[in-house]
Chains A and B, each alone.
Chain A
Amino acid sequence: MGSRGLARLHGLFAVYKPPGLKWKHVRDTVELQLLKGVNAGKAPAPEQRVRFLLGPVGDGEEKALTLTATSVPTLTNHPLVCGPACTSLKIGVGHRLDAQASGVLVLGVGHGRRLLTSMYNAHLTKDYTVRGLLGKATDDFCDEGRLVEKSTYDHVTREKLDRILALIQGSHQKALVMYSSLDLQTQEAYEMAVRGLIRPMNKSPMLVTAIQCIHFAPPEFLIQVQCMHETQKQLRRLVHEIGLELKTTAVCSQVRRTRDGFFTLDDALLRTHWDLHSIEDAIQAAAPRVAAELERSLGPGLGTQQLQDPGRPWDSRGPSSALGLESCAG
C-alpha cells in the first residue's frame, strides 16, 4: 500500500549527479522512480459499503417492507477510478551542482527536508577534485567555452604550483578568521585557531580551507579543494587564476564534489540505484550519522565556536598540519 511505502521515506540521502545533467532533472528523476516504487504495491482488496436497502421481509402474505443493512461492493476507492495513491513526493535539494559538475548531491525527502536547512546552517565544508588544463583560457573558464587566449606552459613545475596553492590557502586562512567574527583575544578562540577549526557560521564569500595538488602531468593537473560557500563557477575561476599566477593560462575540465558535509562518495547512489529500496536503505544507513553530526554542529553552544569540523579525511596529519601551513603562509 502506498502509505506503508511512504512511512519509511523520510530523511537525507546522497546521489551521485553525473555530468551533463541539471540538478533539477536529477531531483525529478528520483521523484519519478520513487513514485513508481510507492505505487507499485499490489492492488487493495475490493471494498464494501453498507447500504440500507428496502425490501420485503417476512413470509406468506405479510410482506412488510423494511430497511435491511447490507454490505454491497463499492468501486469508489478502486485505483482505476481514483488513480494512483501517490501523485507527488516532496523532495528537496541541498547544495546544488551546476550542469557540468558532477558528484555528491544531497537530497532530502519528506520530513528530512528540515534537516537540509540544518545542514545548511551547520556550514560544513565540502571537498572537490578539480581537473585543470594548462595553456588555454576561455570565457567561462571551462574547456568547452569560447577560446580567448593560448599560451605556453613549459616553465611550470610542481614546486611553483605547490607554492601558489599554499599562498592561496594562507590568504583564505586569514579570511576564515575574519569572517568567523571571533574575538581572537580569548584563550578558547586562540586554541581553536591553532587547531584550524575556525570557520564562519554565517554568510561569507567563497573560502578555501585547504587546497592541495594531487597529480601534476603538464598540461593536466589535479587539485583537491576543501571549501565552503562556493559555487562551481568560482572554483573554475580559481583554476583560471592559478593559471594566471603561474604566468600562463588554465581552464578547468572537471569539477567533482567528493564530499558534502558528512556524505561521501561511498554514500552517493549511482543512477542504476535510484529506486525505492536502495533509497530507503541509504536513508536508514545515513540517519544515525546525520543526527549525531547535526547535533554536534548545531547542538548546545550555538553562540560560540565550539565546533568540530567533521570529516577532513584526507588531511589525517592532524593539528600539526594547520600549524605548519600557517607558519609557511604567514
Chain B
Amino acid sequence: MALSAPQIPRWFNSVKLSSFIIATQLRKHFPRPGKTLLHGFSAQPQMSSDNYFLQWGFKTYRTSSLWNSSQSTNSSRQEIGSAQGTLLPSMNEQTQKTENIPSFDSELSLEALDDLPPVSPLQLVSEEEAIQIIADPPLPPDTYTLRDYVDHSETLQKLVLLGVDLSKIEKHPDAANLLLRLDFEKDIKQILMFLKDLGIEDNQLGTYLTKNYAIFSEDLENLKTRVAYLQSKNFSKAHIAQMVRNAPFLLSFSVERLDNRLGFFQKELELSVKKTRDLVVRLPRLLTGSLEPVKENMKVYRLELGFKRNEIQHMITKVPKMLTANKRKLTETFDYVHNVMSIPHHLIVRFPQVFNTRLFKVKERHLFLTYLGRAQYDPVKPNYISLDKLVSVPDEIFCEEIAKASVQDFEKFLKTL
C-alpha cells in the first residue's frame, strides 16, 4: 500500500470527520476511537502511492458504511444516497433531530468520493489499520426515544444521574431536541447552580427538571429578575423555594404575567395582602394554572351553593384546593352533604375539608353510621360527630372511635350496599 504522508490527514479529515458529524452534534462529546484514528494515521510511517491509499481509504469508508448499514438498516445508505438535502423518507415528522446535518455531510462525502478511483476489496490491510477501523453501528439520525443517544451524550448521562426522567421528557418532541443540543458545561450548569441557590435540594432537582425542562432555554437574567420581583412582594426565600418546587413552571412566567395573576387573586378573593400571600405559597399552582376555573368556582360557591362572601373566604384560606376543584364534583358533594345528610351551611363552612374528599367515602361512612344509628351531626345534641372526623380520619380509626365497630363489620356492611 502506498500512502503519501501529506495527503492522508487532509483526505482523512474530510471523509472520516464527515462520518462523525453525520449523526448528531453530540459525537464531539463521545470519546471516539476515531480521534485516535486520526492521530494514529497521521503518524503512520508506511505509505504507498496516492492512488492506492485513496482507493483503500475510500474502500474502507464504503466497507465500514456498508457494514453499518447492514446493522442499522436504512440510515447510512440513505445518508450516502440522498444528496439533495431534503428530508429523508424514513424520517419521522415528530422527531426531526438532525434533518439538515446528514444531507449536508453526505454531499460533502460524495464530493470527496467522486474524485477517488475505486479500490479493490482484496487490498491487504495492515494489523494496525485493521484495528483502527471503526466498527460500531452509527447513531440513528432520528429515533423516537433518547435511549439510543444516552450512552453517547454526557449531558444526557448527567441528567439521568441527577434524577431527570427522560422517558417522560421524550414524549414532547421539541423537548428531546432541546436537551440533545444543550451542553452541560455551558448552559445547564448555570441554571442548576441558580436553582440550588434558590433552595431546591439535589434530590428534588430531578423531579423539577422532568416537569420544567424548558427552563434551560430561559435566560439566566430573566430568572433572576423574576425571583427579585417575588422577593420585592415580600415572599421570603424559603417560601419562594417552596413555591418553585410545587409549581415548577413558576419561573417560566414573565414578571408582568406574575404581577397580573397576583393582582387577579387579590381582587377576586378580596383577601388581605398577607392572606393572599399565604394562599399563594400554599398552592402556587394557582399562579401557573388557568384562571377560568377559579372564576367559575367562585360563582358556583356564591350563586349555586349559596355561601356568603366571608364564608367563602374562610373556606378558601383553610382549603385552597377548593378554588381549582371540579365543578361537577363540588355540586354533587354539596348536594349529598346538604340535602341527604341535612348539614346546614354554617357547619359545612367550619369543615371545608369535606369538599376535598371523594364522594364515595362520605357516602359509605354516612350510610354506615345511619345503619348503626350514630349519624348525629348536630353539635348541640349528644354523640355529635363532626364532619372533619367523618372524612379525614383513616378507616381503622373511623371504625374504632367514631362508629364503635370493627373494620370487618364495616366491610360486611359495604358489601350490602
Within 8 A of A (CB), among B365-417: 395, 411, 414-417
Of A54, A79, A80, most buried by chain B (CB within 10 Å of CB) is: A80
Q: Tell yes or no: A74 within 8 A of B by CB.
A: yes
Which of B103-111, B159-167, B261-269 contacts the other chain? B159-167
Contact B415 A16 (CB under 8 A): yes
B414 touches A270 (CB 8 A): yes
A83/B167 in contact, CB under 8 A: yes
Scan residues 124-159 of chain B and give those whose CB is less than 8 A from a CB of chain A.
128, 131-132, 135, 145-148, 150-151, 156-157
- Is the Cβ of B151 less than 8 Å from the Cβ of A76? yes
Q: A54-B33, A75-B160, A81-B160 are in contact. Are A16 and B146 (CB under 8 A)?
A: no
Say yes or no: A65 contacts B131, CB within 8 Å. Answer: yes
A268 and B167 within 8 A (CB): no
Contact of B131 among A16, A49, A54, A265 (CB under 8 A): A54
User: B310 to nearest A CB, angstroms?
Assistant: 34
Residue of A nearest to B210 (CB): A80
Cβ of A53: which chain B residues have Cβ within 8 Å of it? 33
B411 x A65 contact (CB < 8 A): no
Residue of B nearest to A84 (CB): B167
A88 contacts the other chain (CB 8 A): no
Interface string of B181-205 (1 = CB under 8 A from A): 0000000000000000000000000
**Given known contacts A54-B131, A67-B131, A81-B146, A74 and B417 CB-to-CB distance under 8 angstroms:** no
Contact check, B414 vs A81: say whether CB atoms are below 8 A apart: no
Residues 5-34 of A contacting B (Cβ, < 8 Å): 16, 18-20
In whole angstroms, how far apart are the Cα atoms of A18 and B360 in the complex? 9
> Smallest Cβ distance from B23 to chain A, in angstroms?
16
Pairwise interchain contact B160-A272, C-beta atoms closer than 8 A = no
A270 and B131 contacting across the interface, CB-CB below 8 Å: no
Is A102 among interface residues, defined by CB-CB distance under 8 A? yes
In contact, A20 and B147 (Cβ under 8 angstroms)? no
Kindly count the residue-residue contacts between A and B in the assembled complex, taking CB atoms under 8 Å apart. 70
Does A78 reach chain B (CB closer than 8 Å)?
Answer: yes
Chain A CB within 8 A of B344 CB: no
Is B72 in the interface zone, CB < 8 Å from A? no
**Structural contact, A80 and B164, CB atoms closer than 8 A:** yes
Query: Using Cβ atoms and an 8 Å threshold, which residues of chain A touch B166?
Result: 80-81
A259 at the interface (CB under 8 A from B): no
Alpha-carbon separation in the docked complex, A52 to B134 (Å): 10
Interface size class, chain A: 20 to 34
For residue B40, CB closer than 8 A to chain A, the reply is yes
Q: Does A117 contact B (CB under 8 A)?
A: no
Whether B417 and A18, one on each chain, are in contact in the complex, defined by CB atoms closer than 8 angstroms, is: yes
The B contact surface, by secondary structure, is helix
Q: Which residue of B has the minimal Cβ distance to A52?
A: B135
Cβ–Cβ contact B132 & A65, under 8 A:
yes
Is there a chain A Cβ closer than 8 Å to B46's Cβ?
Answer: no
Interface residues of A in 102-126 (CB under 8 A from B): 102
Q: CB < 8 Å: which of A64, A83, A102 contacts B417?
A: A102
A278 at interface by CB-CB < 8 Å: no
Known: A54-B131, A80-B165, A82-B167. A272 touches B151 (CB 8 A): no
Question: Which residues on the B side are within 8 Å of A75 (C-beta)?
Answer: 150-151, 156-157, 160
- The answer to whether B411 touches A80 (Cβ under 8 A) is no
- B70 within 8 Å of A by Cβ? no
Contacts A80-B166, A81-B166, A82-B167; A265 near B150 (Cβ below 8 A): no
Does A236 sit at the interface, judged by CB under 8 A? no
CB distance from A181 to the nearest CB of B (A): 37
Most buried by B among A20, A54, A66: A54
Given A81-B166, A82-B167, A102-B417, decide whether A65 and B36 contact each other with a Cβ distance below 8 A: yes
Whether A76 pairs with B415 at a CB distance below 8 angstroms is no
Judging by beta carbons under 8 Å apart, are B415 and A270 in contact?
Answer: yes
Contact of A265 among B36, B156, B164, B415 (CB under 8 A): B415
Find chain A residues with CB under 8 A from B157 CB.
75
Q: A84 to B166: give the CA distance in the assembly, Å.
A: 11
Q: Is A256 an interface residue (CB 8 A)?
A: yes
User: A76 near B131 (CB under 8 angstroms)?
Assistant: no
Q: Are A81 and B360 in contact (CB under 8 A)?
A: no
Interface pair B163/A80, CB less than 8 Å apart = yes
Residue of B nearest to A254 (CB): B417
Q: How far is the CB of A150 from chain B (nearest CB, A)?
A: 22
| Contact residues in A for B416 (Cβ distance below 8 Å) | 256
Q: Is B360 a contact of A76 with CB atoms below 8 Å?
A: no
User: Considering residues B128, B156, B414, which has the most beta carbons from chain A within 10 angstroms of its beta carbon?
Assistant: B414
* Chain A, range 206-229, C-beta contacts under 8 Å to B: none
Q: CA A75 – CA B146 in complex, angstroms?
A: 11
Q: Which of A65, A81, A83, A270 contacts B128 (CB 8 A)?
A: A65
Contact B147 A82 (CB under 8 A): yes
In the assembled complex, which residues on chain B have CB atoms less than 8 Å from the CB atom of A77? 147
Contact partner of B395 (CB less than 8 A), chosen from A65, A78, A272, is: A272
Task: Report 5 cross-chain contacts, Cβ distance below 8 Å, ordered by A residue.
Answer: A18-B364, A78-B150, A78-B160, A82-B147, A102-B417
**Nearest 3 A/B pairs, CB to CB:** A83-B167, A54-B33, A75-B150
Residues of B within 8 A of A (CB): 33, 36-37, 40, 128, 131-132, 135, 145-148, 150-151, 156-157, 160, 163-168, 360, 364, 395, 411, 414-417
Known: A81-B147, A271-B360. 17 other contacts (CB 8 A): A16-B415, A18-B414, A19-B417, A20-B360, A54-B33, A54-B131, A65-B36, A67-B131, A74-B151, A77-B147, A78-B150, A80-B164, A80-B167, A81-B167, A84-B167, A270-B411, A271-B414
